[in-house]
Amino acid sequence: MSDAPRAGEHPTVGTYVRVALVLTVVTALEVGVIYVRRLAPIVVPLLLAMSAAKFALVALFFMHLRYESRVLTFLFVGPLILASGLAVALMTLTGAFLVFGR
Amino acid sequence: MSTLAARSDYAREILHVYGIVTWVAIGIALVVGVALAWIIVRFRDRPGASRVPAQTRGHTLLEISWTIAPALVLLAIAIPTIQVIFRTQAAPPRDALEITVYGHQWWWEFRYPALQVVTANELHVPAGRPVALTLQGPDVIHSFWAPRLGGKRDVIPGRLNRLTFTAETPGEYRGQCAEFCGVSHANMGMRVIVDAPDAFARWVAAQKTELAEPAGLAAEGKAIFAGRACVGCHTIRGVSSGALGPDLTTFGSRHTLAAGLLPISVDNVAAWLKNPPALKPDAKMPALGLTDEQARAVATYLIGLK
Amino acid sequence: MMSADSSGRVLHAPPSALAGVETPATVLSWLTTVDHKRIGILYGVTGFAFFLLGGLEALLIRLQLAVPNNTVVSAQAYNALFTMHGTTMIFLAIMPFNAAFFNYVVPLLIGARDVAFPRLNALSYWIFLAGGLLLNASLLAGTPPDVGWFGYANLTSRHYTPGPGVDFWLLSLQILGVSSVIAAINFIVTILNMRAPGMTMMRMPVFVWMTLVVQFLIALAFPPITVGLIFLMFDRFFGTRFYDVAAGADLHLWQHLFWIFGHPEVYILILPAFGIVSEVLPTFAKKPLFGAPVVIYSGVLIGFFGFGVWSHHMFATGLGPVADSAFSIATMLIAIPTGVKIFNWLATLWGGTIRTTTALHFAVGLVGLFTIGGLSGVMHASPPVDLQQTDSYFVVAHLHYVLIGGSLFGLFAGAYYWWPKMTGRLLGERLGRVQFWVIFAGFNLAFFPQHYLGAMGMPRRIYTYPADAGWTAGNFASTAGAFGIGVGVLLFIVNAWQSLRRGAPAPADPWDGRTLEWRTSSPPPAHDFDTIPPVYGRDSFWREKHGPRRGAPPTASHAPLHVPAPSHWPVMIALGMGIAAVGALTHVSIVVIGVLWTIWGIVRLALEHHRTHAHADQTGVLGLDHRKMAMWVFLGSECFFFGTLVATYLAYKGRSVVGPAPHEILNIPVTTVSTFDLLMSSLLMVLALAAVQRGDRRQARLWLFGTAVFGLVFLGFQAYEFTEFVHQGFTMQRNLFGSTFFVLTGLHGTHVAIGVLWLLSLWVLALRGRLGVADAVKVEIAGLYWHFVDVVWIAIFTLVYLIP
Tens digits of residue pLDDT in C312-367: 999 999 999 999 999 999 999 999 999 999 999 999 999 999 999 999 999 999 99
Q: Please identify among residues 68-127 of chain C the ones whose CB lies closer than 8 Å to any CB of chain B.
A: 74-76, 79
Asked if C353's CB is within 8 angstroms of B45's CB, the reply is yes
C85 is catalytic: yes
pLDDT band at C712 (very low <50, low <70, confident <90, very high): very high
Q: Are the beta carbons of B260 and B249 closer than 8 angstroms?
A: no
A27 close contact with C: CB closer than 8 A: yes
C606-633 pLDDT per residue, tens = 999 888 877 888 999 999 999 999 999 9
C66-112 pLDDT per residue, tens = 999 999 999 999 999 999 999 999 999 999 999 999 999 999 999 99
Instruction: Name which of B145, B143, B144, B147 is nearest B2 in CA terms.
Output: B147
pLDDT band at C557 (very low <50, low <70, confident <90, very high): low
Smallest CA–CA distance from C337 into chain B, residue: B67
Overall residue count recorded for chain A in this entry: 102
Instruction: Name which of C100, C96, C85, C170 is nearest C129 in CA terms.
Output: C96
Picking from C251, C340, C390, the nearest residue to B156 by CB comes out as C251
Distance of CA C383 to the CA centre of its chain: 29
Q: Are the beta carbons of C43 and C97 closer than 8 angstroms?
A: yes
Q: What's the pLDDT at A102? A: 34
Q: What's the pLDDT at C636? A: 97
In angstroms, the Cα distances linking C448 to B227, C82, C90, C395, C637 are 54, 19, 21, 11, 39
The Cα–Cα gap between C381 and C445 comes to 25
C382 is catalytic: no
The Cα–Cα gap between C265 and C573 comes to 26
Picking from B49, B50, B147, the nearest residue to C457 by CB comes out as B147
Q: Are the beta carbons of B6 and B173 closer than 8 angstroms?
A: no
Q: What's the pLDDT at C742? A: 98
B209 close contact with C: CB closer than 8 A: no
Q: Do chains B and A touch (3 or more CB pairs under 8 A)?
A: no
C191 close contact with A: CB closer than 8 A: no
Residue A12 pLDDT greater than 90, yes or no: no
C597 is catalytic: no
Residues on chain C touching B86 (C-beta within 8 angstroms): 321, 325
B243 close contact with C: CB closer than 8 A: no
Q: Are the beta carbons of B133 and B101 closer than 8 angstroms?
A: yes
Q: What's the pLDDT at C20? A: 44
Percentage of the residues of chain C whose pLDDT score is greater than 70: 96
The Cα–Cα gap between C249 and C253 comes to 8
Residue B230 CB partners (closer than 8 Å, separation 6+): B240, B242, B288, B298
The Cα–Cα gap between B205 and B207 comes to 5
Asked if B24's CB is within 8 angstroms of C364's CB, the reply is no
Residue A3 pLDDT greater than 80, yes or no: no
Question: Mean of the per-residue pLDDT values for chain C?
Answer: 94
How large is the average pLDDT for residues C772-800?
96
How large is the average pLDDT for residues C712-731?
97
The Cα–Cα gap between C340 and C371 comes to 11
C232-250 pLDDT per residue, tens = 999 999 999 999 999 999 9
Residue C47 pLDDT greater than 70, yes or no: yes
pTM of this prediction?
A: 0.95
CB count in 10 Å sphere of residue B233: 16
pLDDT tens for chain B, residues 1 to 306 = 999 999 999 999 999 999 999 999 999 999 999 999 999 999 998 776 668 888 889 999 999 999 999 999 999 999 999 999 999 999 999 999 999 999 999 999 999 999 999 999 999 999 999 999 999 989 999 999 999 999 999 999 999 999 999 999 999 999 999 999 999 999 999 999 999 999 999 999 999 888 888 889 999 999 999 999 999 999 998 899 998 999 999 999 999 999 999 999 999 999 999 999 999 999 999 998 999 999 999 999 999 998
Helical ranges in B43-90 per DSSP H: 60-88
Residue A98 pLDDT greater than 70, yes or no: no
Asked if C798's CB is within 8 angstroms of A48's CB, the reply is yes
DSSP C513: -
In angstroms, the Cα distances linking C88 to C48, C52, C80, C407, C689 are 11, 10, 12, 15, 45
Q: Please identify among residues 59-88 of chain B the ones whose CB lies closer than 8 Å to any CB of chain C.
A: 59, 62-63, 66-67, 70-71, 74, 77-78, 81-82, 84-86, 88
Residue C6 pLDDT greater than 90, yes or no: no
CB count in 10 Å sphere of residue C461: 18
B215 close contact with C: CB closer than 8 A: no
Residue C448 pLDDT greater than 90, yes or no: yes
Residue C248 Ramachandran class (φ > 0 left, ψ -120 to 50 alpha, else beta): left
DSSP C93: I
C460 is catalytic: yes
C471 is catalytic: no
The Cα–Cα gap between C212 and C214 comes to 5
Q: Please identify among residues 315-354 of chain C the ones whose CB lies closer than 8 Å to any CB of chain A.
A: 319, 323
Q: What's the pLDDT at B49? A: 61
Q: Do chains A and C touch (3 or more CB pairs under 8 A)?
A: yes
C613 is catalytic: no
Q: Are the beta carbons of C187 and C633 closer than 8 angstroms?
A: no
Instruction: Name which of C545, C352, C514 is nearest B54 in CA terms.
Output: C352
Best A26, A90, A99 residue to mutate vs chain C (most C CBs within 10 Å): A90
Q: What's the pLDDT at C11? A: 38
Residues on chain B touching C390 (C-beta within 8 angstroms): 152, 178
pLDDT band at C23 (very low <50, low <70, confident <90, very high): low
Q: Which amino acid is at B115?
A: L
Residue C21 pLDDT greater than 70, yes or no: no
Residue A89 pLDDT greater than 70, yes or no: yes
Q: What's the pLDDT at C556? A: 60
Q: Are the beta carbons of A94 and C653 closer than 8 angstroms?
A: no
DSSP B251: G
C650 close contact with A: CB closer than 8 A: yes
Q: Which long-range contacts (CB under 8 A, 24 or more apart) does C731-734 make?
A: C732/C234, C732/C238, C732/C240, C733/C238, C733/C239, C733/C240, C733/C241, C734/C658, C734/C660
Q: What's the pLDDT at C549? A: 84
B134 close contact with C: CB closer than 8 A: no
Residues on chain C touching B2 (C-beta within 8 angstroms): 455-457
